[in-house]
Amino acid sequence: MPQTVKKQPAKGSNVVRWIVFLFLAILCCSFLASMMTPDGPIEEVPLSSVIARANDENGDIAKITVEGSNLKITLKGKDRYTQTSRKDPSGTLYEQGLIDQCAEFNGEELSNCQAKYPIIEYTEVSSFWDYALDIAIIGIPIIIVIFFFNSMMRQAQSMNNQSMGFGKAKAKLYGPDKKRVLFKDVAGNEAAKQDLEEVVDFLKEPKKYEKLGAKIPRGVLLAGDPGTGKTLMARAVAGEASVPFFSISGSEFAEMFVGVGASRVRDLFAKAKKNAPSIIFIDEIDAVAHKRDARGGAGREDEQTLNQILVEMDGFDNDSGVIVIAATNRVDMLDKALLRPGRFDRHINVSLPERKDRLEILKVHFKNKPIDSSVDLDALAAKTAGSSGADLANIANEAAITAARERHKEITNADLTEAFERVAIGPERKSKVMNDNERKLTAYHEAGHAIVGHVLPDSDPVHKVTIIPRGHTGGVTWFLPPEDRSYKSIYELKDILARAMGGRIAEKLIFGEDAVTTGASSDLKHVAELSKEMIVEEGMGKQTRNLVFPEGDMGYYTIATGKPYSEKTAELIDQEVKTLSDEAALRAEAVLKANKPILDKLAEALLKQETLEEKDLEPILRDAKLPASVKLH
């Protein structure tokens, strides 16, 4: 586990913060209070004269409000009032009679009185709620202000932490005493491990190489898809050599202020040198080291970070004992400066695991999990072509979770299958109830895929068909490649197009020409993408055989199309793409028409059993016919 050291904010700064709040709060209070209370000392005037001034049309008083024992006097042309007490210091009311002229009256007499003294208003004696309101009026803004300042202070503080406490907080250290990873924990990847074995040897016995004048490599670049175990292998190098492992990710630099990335690099290298021999691991180095000309040039910050990495690596002594391992899945995107001799001059490719490696990886991840005798890891390895080590680790974990949820004592093969499908397509939606119509439609749709795929000679065998919805799909038909292949022929690709069309065509045959549904949209998208790829990238068009139309760095563009070919060519490409998908639809239709009884039988079986495995499919599909018209060769 990474050992991270976080900088704790000092206790003292909290006290300072609260003192500042208190000060601000008092400031606010007094400001608000001054808004609401009389301004300046008031000269003492007899109440009688105030009332007289109020009753005089040319007087300067607009209104007198009597509120319990208080008088609020509003002057003409001002909306603030002056407040005074009607009590003398001994507590008796001043000139009671005068002020309360109307208070003794009620009914008609009251209105007469009020008409006579129109500007004197009586309000309820100030109650609890008045005080509450006063407090709220003063208090709420203060609270808001406090929150505002509080969050501002916090932000400022965290920015401080980020920019001042860098490096220590973010670089992770896997020391030799932490959970060690060894080469035996990395399954497969034999070639890469062999190359790294050498690095381990450098770290263990640098003298051996120096004596012979050999330069110890400074940088090793691991290139490969995400999840193929690059981090794992870098850790294994540290583990095998028993040296500390410092790791940082290129994407972390992206969130930093200008200059911080560079100084963090400096700090990281300084720490690594102090602990030499050691390993620095930079994950996702492409995040800081992408080509300066790509995408309009790297940002200033990225460039500074990258330069700092280069400066540090150039400054290495031969015997500094620090080896930098970087990982990327985009070697083509890397700045050339990074790949020069003396920098990351050793490249190790890490590829997606092949079948036997997948089995090894699965074994590693099931090593400490109880599995029962039904579990067939080899079969799982067979159907996970294209999965990375991380995907397989994920399947193993999901299988354990599934088993625990089902209260199994040991992981069963069913748990494993569910885990695989969950990771491959998304969790099963058991709760989504399909109505009978939808179920029938889905059954015919999937049966269509399965039959076309089964009948066409260059398609992979059907492995499983289900109408249980998963993820976004209504049902799924799986085809299994018998082995991993690097090349596909045009016949195979055309069969893939046709079987993808099989779903919609089956719906059409059963429910009619115009009963098109949205159920086939992902199939159609697949057809569109694959046929475009065949034309544009693989030179598989009828009229454009052996011609490709790359849109990348061709260096010139025609203005009309914005692409490196003319409008005429664009039209030709569209035509060729349409030819391919039309042909696929026709072939699917021919197959399904020739095998209508089997289509019905398969759909029925699906409606009854929901999921059919190879052994259930075999008796149904055995007699399917291949119409001569769909043969390609």
Q: Which residues bind ligand ADP (CB under 6 A)?
A: 186-189, 226-232, 327, 361, 364, 389-390, 393
Residue 361: contacted member of ligand ADP, Zn ion, none (CB under 5 to 8 Å, by partner type)? ligand ADP
Minimum CB–partner distance for residue 470 and ligand ADP (Å)? 24
Sign of torsion over alpha carbons 556, 561, 562, 564: negative
Residue 324: contacted member of ligand ADP, Zn ion, none (CB under 5 to 8 Å, by partner type)? none
Residue 361 or 520 with smaller CB distance to ligand ADP: 361
Judged by CB under 5 A, the stretch of 145-153, 312-320, 380-388, 496-504 that binds Zn ion is: 496-504
- CA dist 416 → 360, 412, 527 (Å): 16, 6, 31
In SS3 terms, 546-579 reads as: CCCCCCCCCCCCCCCCCCCCCHHHHHHHHHHHHH
Residue 142 or 241 with smaller CB distance to ligand ADP: 241
Rounded CA separation 502/444 (Å): 10
Residue 134 or 529 with smaller CB distance to Zn ion: 529
Exposed (0-12), middle (13-18) or buried (19+): which is 517, by Cβ within 10 Å? middle
Residue 199 or 598 with smaller CB distance to ligand ADP: 199
Rounded CA separation 179/186 (Å): 14
Residue 72 or 526 with smaller CB distance to Zn ion: 526
Rounded CA separation 393/388 (Å): 9
Minimum CB–partner distance for residue 389 and ligand ADP (Å)? 2
Residue 371: contacted member of ligand ADP, Zn ion, none (CB under 5 to 8 Å, by partner type)? none
Q: Buried (b) or exposed (e) across 439-458, using 16+ Cβ within 10 A?
A: bbbbbbbbbbbbbbbbbbeb
Rounded CA separation 319/306 (Å): 23
Judged by CB under 5 A, the stretch of 79-87, 303-311, 516-524, 539-547 that binds Zn ion is: 516-524
Judged by CB under 5 A, the stretch of 222-230, 515-523, 534-542, 613-621 that binds Zn ion is: 515-523
Residue 503: contacted member of ligand ADP, Zn ion, none (CB under 5 to 8 Å, by partner type)? Zn ion
Residue 470: contacted member of ligand ADP, Zn ion, none (CB under 5 to 8 Å, by partner type)? none
The residues near 27 (Cβ < 8 Å, ≥ 6 apart) are none
Minimum CB–partner distance for residue 449 and Zn ion (Å)? 6
Q: Where are the alpha helices (DSSP H) in 275-352?
A: 286-289, 300-314
- CA dist 470 → 392, 418, 475 (Å): 20, 11, 7
Q: For residue 523, state whether it binds Zn ion (rule: CB under 5 A).
A: yes
Minimum CB–partner distance for residue 329 and ligand ADP (Å)? 8
Rounded CA separation 157/148 (Å): 14
Minimum CB–partner distance for residue 632 and Zn ion (Å)? 22
Residue 364 or 585 with smaller CB distance to ligand ADP: 364
CA contacts within 13 A on the Cβ side of 323: 26
Q: Pairing between strand 245-249 and 278-283?
A: parallel
Rounded CA separation 424/388 (Å): 12
Number of H helices, E strands in the chain: 22, 13
**Annotated catalytic residue: which of 398, 418, 446, 576?**
446
Rounded CA separation 598/604 (Å): 10
Q: For residue 503, state whether it binds Zn ion (rule: CB under 5 A).
A: yes
Residue 342: contacted member of Zn ion, ligand ADP, none (CB under 5 to 8 Å, by partner type)? none
Residue 442: contacted member of Zn ion, ligand ADP, none (CB under 5 to 8 Å, by partner type)? none
Minimum CB–partner distance for residue 435 and ligand ADP (Å)? 41
Minimum CB–partner distance for residue 445 and Zn ion (Å)? 5
# binding residues, Zn ion (CB under 5 A) = 2
* Inter-residue contact 600 to 462 (CB < 8 Å): no
* Inter-residue contact 292 to 335 (CB < 8 Å): yes
Residue 273: contacted member of ligand ADP, Zn ion, none (CB under 5 to 8 Å, by partner type)? none
Residue 170 or 230 with smaller CB distance to ligand ADP: 230
Judged by CB under 5 A, the stretch of 128-136, 242-250, 433-441, 500-508 that binds Zn ion is: 500-508
Task: Find residue 477's DSSP bridge partners.
Answer: 465
Residue 260: contacted member of ligand ADP, Zn ion, none (CB under 5 to 8 Å, by partner type)? none
Minimum CB–partner distance for residue 289 and ligand ADP (Å)? 16
- Number of Cβ atoms within 10 Å of the Cβ of 217: 19
Q: In the bound complex, which residue of the shown chain has the CB atom lying closest to ligand ADP?
A: 389
Residue 186 or 285 with smaller CB distance to ligand ADP: 186
Minimum CB–partner distance for residue 161 and ligand ADP (Å)? 27
Q: For residue 469, state whether it binds Zn ion (rule: CB under 5 A).
A: no
Rounded CA separation 418/570 (Å): 45
Exposed (0-12), middle (13-18) or buried (19+): which is 32, by Cβ within 10 Å? middle
Judged by CB under 5 A, the stretch of 108-116, 139-147, 248-256, 518-526 that binds Zn ion is: 518-526
Residue 391 or 523 with smaller CB distance to Zn ion: 523
Q: In the bound complex, which residue of the shown chain has the CB atom lying closest to Zn ion?
A: 503
Is-catalytic flag, 284? no
For Zn ion, the binding residues (CB under 5 A) are 503, 523
Tell me which residues are annotated as active site: 446
